[in-house]
Every structure is written in C-alpha cells, then in structure tokens.
Amino acid sequence: MAKRELRRSLKSEIDNLFASPETAENEFQQATKRQKRDDSESSSTPKSSGSSQPFDPNRPRVTLHLNRLGNSFRIDCETLAHFIHYTLFGNSLMKPRWTAIANHRNIPQTLVIRINVQEDFFMTTNLKFLNDFFERRWIELDSEISDRSLFWNSMMNVRLTLQEQVRRKSEKMQKTFDILGKHDKSNFILTTAQLADRGFPFPGEEGIVPTKRRYKKLSPSSPLFSVDCEMCETTTANRALTRISIVDEEQNTILDTLVKPDGDITDYVTRYSGITEKMMEGVTTTLADVQKAVQNLLPPDAILVGHSLEFDLRAMRMTHPFCIDVGHTLNYTNSASGGRNSLKNLSEFFLGVQIQTKFGHCSYEDAWAAMRLAQLKIEKGLMFGNTSFGWKYTRDANGGVVEEALQTEVVSTVPCSGCTQPTVVGCTVLNCRCRFVNGPSKCVHCVKLGESIEGDFDWQDTLDLDLDKTTSPIESYLKKDKMTSLMCAFDNSFLDKLPTFSKKIRSKQSSSFPSYDSFINSVASEMLNDSGIFLEIEKERVEPLEDSADETGEVFDNSEGLNTMLEKLVGATTRNSLVIIIVSSPSKNILFNRIK
C-alpha cells in the first residue's frame, strides 16, 4: 500500500473511533509513527529459519551498528561490557551509540557465557547449536578479549557516565540552603547534581559544545534568557533541531531561526513543532551556525530558562552551567517522583493563559511562557507554586497576574541590519504572540560573525572530572536496582577486587562441585532466580557424551558434550532473554548474540 493511501486509511479508521477531531488527529499521528517503526523493524529484523510465529511488536530486538565504531575498530572489553551493563541496568547508564535496543525493558535476563578454547578450535570444531540458534551470525572481537583478567574485571566494573560522576561529586559538595533565605535568582538555579540527574549535557561529552568558553560568577543582576527548540524526525535522529527561539527578560526576541538538520526529514511533526515542509524550503542555517550565534549572544553570566530544558540543550548539542527549569521549580500536583507538570498546564494554572492550542506550537510562545513563569517564581519565592515545599493552592494561584490583551496590530518584520535577511521565522500559529513583538536587529548569520564576551572560569575545569575511564563496582548498581540480581559462575581469582557476595550478587565456583557437569547443572537449575548470569566454560573440562566414543572406547572430541551443555543453558533462560556467547582462543575471539 502506498504511503498516501496508508495515511488516508489510518485517518479514516481513527476518525470513526473518536468523536473529538483533536483526539483523532493525535491518535493518527501516533498510529502513523507506530506503522513506520514497525515496518522498519520488521524489514530489518532477521526471520528465524522455518519460523511461522507472527511479528510481535513488544518483543525486544537488538541491532548492532558496528559502522558507528569506525571501520577498523573491533569491540574490546570495555565496549562489550558497556553493552552488557546497559542491557542489565538500562537508563541508569548512557546507551551505547553503536546499539539499537527496541523494547529494552522487556528483556528479563542477560546470559553471558565465555567459552575458553584451544588455538585450533575454529579450524577443527563445528558446534551445531551455535550455528542453528544464532543462524551462523557472529562478530569477530578485539584480541584483548583473550585476556581473562581484563575481560572479567571489565564485566564486574561499570563505566560511570559523566552525569553519574557529576552527581556523586556534587552530593559531597552540595550545601543546604535555607528555604527562608533571600530569594535571588541563584536560589532557583539547578544544582550540578540536579543537572546530572535530569540528563543535562556536560562539557567533555562527545559532540557537546559549551555556550561560552569561559563563564562569570552569578550576581543579582545576571540576566535571564529563555530558550525553546522545535524538533523534527530525520533519517539520522529522532529529535533534530529545526527551529530555536531565545527571549530576553523584556520578552523580546533576540534569536529566532529555522535550522537545516543533518539527514532528510522523515516527519515534520507539524502539530507539535509548528514546522511545515514549505517553511523548511531553502533553509541553509546549520546547527554549527546556531551554536556560534548563541556563544556570541549570551553574556558569560547568563541564566538559561526553559521547560524540560535538557531536551532543548541536547537538540542544540550545547551545555550551560546556570539553568532554571520551570518544570522543576513549579509543581502544583505534588509529584515528588520527578514527574513534571506540562508547560501548557503551568501556563494556564499560574499565568491564566493558553498556549499550544489547536492552532499549533511556536517556540517563541513556549520560551515566552517559560520566562513569565520563571519571573513569577523569583518574585514570589521558593515556596510559591511548589506543593512539596508546603505551598497550598488558592484561587489566586497566579499571584495576581492577569494576562494582558494582545496588540491589535502585527509588528512589521524588520530585515537584518547587516544583510537584509529576515531575522524571525514566519510563524504558522494563528494570532501567535511572536507576531506582536519586535524581532532582533540581526539574523543568525550576522550574529555568529560577532565577538563572544568571555568570563573568567572554564566550567569543565571546575567539575574536575575524569573523562577517561572511571568505573564503579557492579554491586553498587545492583544495590540501587531492586529488580536486578547477578550470578557469577566464573573463576573470581582473576578479579582485582572481590565483590561482597549477597542476595544481589551470588557466586558459584566449579571447584565446589564434584564434577563439571554438576556445576553446569546447578547453574542451569538456578538461572531463573537472576537477571544476569555471567558464566565461564573451559572446553577442556567438558565431559564427553557417553555415545561419542569409537569402537575401542576412545573419545577423540568433547564437542558434542559442549554442544549439549550450551543447549541446556540457553534452554534454561526465560523467553525474550538476551543470550551472549563469547568463544575465546589465545588469538581469536568470536561473539554470538541473539534474543531468545
């Protein structure tokens, strides 16, 4: 079915189901997104040979994009461990950029088996179970995988993300502020630990650019700037920047431009972004142009304001130390779990105005609303608008703020004073506020040619973080995750530091069992008790099957015994488990992986 016919069919079905046109349109957008995703995944997901099972959209799927690692790069111990840790702990860690895991939360177990073999194994041995279960698909790993000590130490120590390092450091340094103290702007700035917890980008991250090379200490006169971005879906990103608006404290526009994203736009998400295909025709401004313009526009002590500001900064691929998030400072539903009231609801509740109406979204209007909310919060104090601080709702929730009527005349667009190009975006939202305010005097391209005023300190230097290889024992993550436990069935004498074994992390040593078979049987019988299983098998210790001897009773190979052992272990895991098998010889290492 052609794409146009599919969209028409889906819209017709949804319109019949829902009485509200607004609801119908929302469901239509979601349905088309699901259809595109499912079509893409079903076409790229290999079908099991002889399998007649229907495609299950909830089934987890793992895709490895090895080209993102570089043409000559082979997966080493740290890279492999990062992938395995992410399957266990999910969003507590940064997702490996070379993997795509659909329905990650539906992976109940991760089974990692390392098989140590002799040098000639790959030339002389053919394991039927590996060939059948993994459909003869494998990846050659880096030679360092052969180092058992390095391998298991990598598995038992989790690489800390930059955000986790910042959070841990800030917890030790953070001072307790008196909520009855002076209500200046600095009281509402997100702490470094809060920035880390909410996933804000930090200096040192790959591809992230600071808003200033050097910053200045905040003062009562430090200015506020509200930023909002609109994003579209492209062939290279789910959230690609396509429009950015920055508003000052007087609610004037100081930057408003469309941005041409990398890759082709696959969905303009017009209902939520306000961006149309026609608007993007002829746009040449790049993300790098925007970054340079922002660096020149902002003073070194600027305070950025927004709602869910981390998503805007990630779309901009920029980082900033001084941030006020109105979704964090205003909380009228007592959502202590970290949930945020939407900008639309906050604006209606505290300002008495409606934004993001049926006419669409505008990044200027969202930035304007965030600025008004931040100014109201600073004026009224820390307790205002936050039920977790004891604030109680009254009819005068908006602090007496009454929305003024919009001007009746649209302000004429003034061309750039440097090149005569437009300085603002032609908005598609009917009666949008951006039509009634003065625009900036210069366009983004002329702004980027100016000079940046710098401060006296580098934020990255003050963080004092190890950007190389900082790790934390895996048990520290297991303690935080109530649902995850780990079975360690390998020789732990290779570890630099033994973990504290408990209900969350259990040890099984083959030396404690009368035979190697009894060791494997014990692991298989208890496998369902754990979310992660780390197992090491020595091929030389595998006992051959009784019927594998020749007429004289001599056994030439124990491969069938190993084949049966692997089949038993994989069979003991639950459905949708991720099975990873590493076959390691002194000079060659092979990775097999598949969702069961």
Within 313-363, strands assigned E span 318-319, 323-325
Q: pTM for this one?
A: 0.58
Task: Quick: pLDDT tens for 175-218.
Answer: 433 333 445 677 788 888 788 878 899 998 888 999 999 999 88
CA angle (459, 461, 462) in 5-degree steps: 65
Kindly write down the DSSP assignment for every residue of 466-531, as one continuous string. --S--EEEHHHHHHH-TT--EEEES-GGG-SS----SSSEEE--GGGSSSHHHHHHHHHHTGGG-S
Lowest-pLDDT range of 149-163, 191-205, 544-558:
544-558
383-386-389 Cα angle (round to 5): 55
pLDDT digits (tens, 9 = 90+) for 332-385: 775 544 568 889 889 988 888 888 876 667 888 999 999 999 999 888 877 788
> Which of 78-82, 381-385, 420-424 shows the highest mean pLDDT?
78-82
pLDDT at 322 over 90: yes
Contact, 489 vs 523, CB < 8 A?
yes
> Residue 174 pLDDT more than 60?
no
- pLDDT single digits (tens) 264-301: 888 888 877 888 888 888 899 999 999 999 999 999 99
Distances (CA, A) of 298 to 176, 210, 211, 241, 365: 29, 11, 8, 19, 20
Q: Count CB atoms within 10 A of the CB of residue 3.
A: 10
Mean model confidence pLDDT for the chain: 80
Q: What is the signed CA dihedral for 501, 589, 110, 148, rounded to 10 degrees?
A: 0
585: confidence class by pLDDT, cuts 50, 70, 90? very high
Structure tokens at 556: 């030439």
For residue 481, the tally of other CB atoms under 10 A from its CB is 14
DSSP calls for 110-154: EEEEEEE--TTHHHH---HHHHHHTTT--EEPPGGGG-HHHHHHH
Give per-residue pLDDT as tens, 23-62. Answer: 444 554 555 555 555 555 444 444 433 444 567 788 888 9
End-to-end CA distance of the chain: 32
